[in-house]
Structure 1
């Protein structure tokens, strides 16, 4: 067994992928062989989960190393010799290409988030303080065929400015400086989806007022989490506008002409979800 620092680091990352994969499976974010994870090893290589494996039943020696073109480059083990990289590897690689700061990518299928995307309900809002600070606004892509070049195109521009993206009718992609951060952003995203459903069922769903959102954005900037272009997004969605933006877009607020119809959609989705969970008739 090698004691070279690079080997030790790689082995540690393999074990972390297995651990996070098990968490995803246990919490229902990736069932059967859904979902995939990756970690950047260096500028030329990425560790990623193999295709076709349950994320709750992987072993460290099954994890695959690929280059930035998605080719399997080793090391080969008895456990991964016949395995191939996840079919979504090119979506992961696109994220790494677009942002050198990304150290890990998590793709999952959190059920409540996916259900809301099918219902046409956006989670790009200013509801939860922790989400605003740690995740920012979360856009939803147009539908793209999973594991296809369309999926890569769908995230290409959005990933530059966002740490979490909802893939319509498909799942989510969250990124971070490390695998744990990317995974925690997945948890936060599914949590806000669940809260959105329950809030609408209760008939309450007021976003935070702009002055409170601005305080949270100041924290976000202080923590080094702010992304390029998000100031304009928060102005458009949440009404947190600098004087310059207010001059360009006077009267911008977080509401839209479709608010009432969207609320009705969420209410119906909420009822269906709660019935499935045994909380309603």
Structure 2
């Protein structure tokens, strides 16, 4: 496999382990992709010794084209193959030039909140500013609990997603699209945090209330150096000995 892509393979592998460490994809379902050029992407593939996202290494990240074929010689050697839901990634990348990375995960709290009729809303403030701002813009829900295994179904999901960064998949999980691998993962983590808090509030007999407009207007933008760079270093730090 091409050596020049090694740092990007490591980045995508780290992202998979972060999702697992956060409980968003703690089994062997879920995947992360990164656009390489107009026709190719790096994506987590499954090999003959699949163990789950928590054990992802750079060798599991393979270069494929938008149709799921090897993006370069040897990329799918050794019994590796792209995920069944590769169209979930490629359809986003085909239709959203603003997106560089796609995350698909199965967070139980996100699924449970949606099935309970609880939308992802801006219920907190300074507790999690990026997640609050994301929720304030709306988190749509794709209403079909299906495996998104072809372009038709992926097109339905993308249409539901519109220009939003995250879409909840009913009875399934979520898709997060970002300008970087780091932002796509951190968005998913933020949505999961809001879902978990919402379930706790409702379970305690409380009522969910959106942050007042005045408070929303007073929330500062701490910038990508803090919201993304520092947050990502924290996520990698949490992995500790799990990092390969």
Q: What is the Cα deviation at residue 139 of structure 1? A: 1.3
TM-score (norm 2): 0.78
Alignment of 1:166-205 (within 5 A): 166-202=168-204, 203-205=206-208
Spell out, residue by residue over 1:56-90, the C-alpha distance to the aligned partner (whole angstroms, 9 max, x if none). 1222122121112222223426x853111011110
User: Which structure is larger by alpha-carbon Rg, 1 or 2?
Assistant: 1
How many equivalent residue pairs?
214
1:212 to 211, 215, 218: 215
- Following superposition of structure 1 onto structure 2, how do residues 83-232 of structure 1 map, counting pairs within 5 Å? 83-123=80-120, 125-129=121-125, 130=129, 131-134=131-134, 136-149=137-150, 151-202=153-204, 203-214=206-217
- Alpha-carbon offset, residue 27 of structure 1: 2.1
- Cα distance change on mapping 1:80 and 1:160 into 2, 3 Å: farther
2:21 pairs with 1:23: no
Q: In the aligned structure 1, how far is the partner of 2:36 from the partner of 2:53?
A: 20
1:176-212 superposed Cα distances (whole Å, 9 cap, x missing partner): 1110110000110100001101222331422112343
Q: After TM superposition, what 4+ stretches of structure 1 lie above 4 angstroms from structure 2?
A: none
Q: In the aligned structure 2, how far is the partner of 1:71 from the partner of 1:91? A: 15
Which moved further from structure 2: 114-123 or 39-48?
114-123
* Cα distance change, pair 114–151 in 1 and its aligned pair in 2 (3 A): farther
Unaligned runs of 5+ in 2: 225-244
Whether the aligned pair in 2 keeps the contact of 1:133 and 1:219 (CA below 8 Å) is no
Deviation at 1:144, TM superposition (A): 3.9
Q: Distance in 2 between matches of 1:178 and 1:61?
A: 20
Judged with a 3 Å threshold, the aligned counterparts in structure 2 of structure 1 residues 13 and 84 are, in CA distance, closer, same or farther, namely same
Q: Which residue of 2 aligns with 1:81?
A: 78
Distance 2:73 2:164 in 1: 32
Say if 2:142 and 2:161, in contact at 8 Å, map to a contact too.
no
What TM-score, normalized to structure 1? 0.68
Shift of 1:121: 2.2
Q: Is the 8 A contact 1:61 1:80 kept in 2?
A: no
* SS of residue paired to 1:148: coil
- Secondary structure in 1 matching 2:55: coil
* 1:157-179 Cα shifts (integer Å, max 9, x gaps): 13332101100000011111110
2:31 is aligned to 36
Partner of 1:70: 68
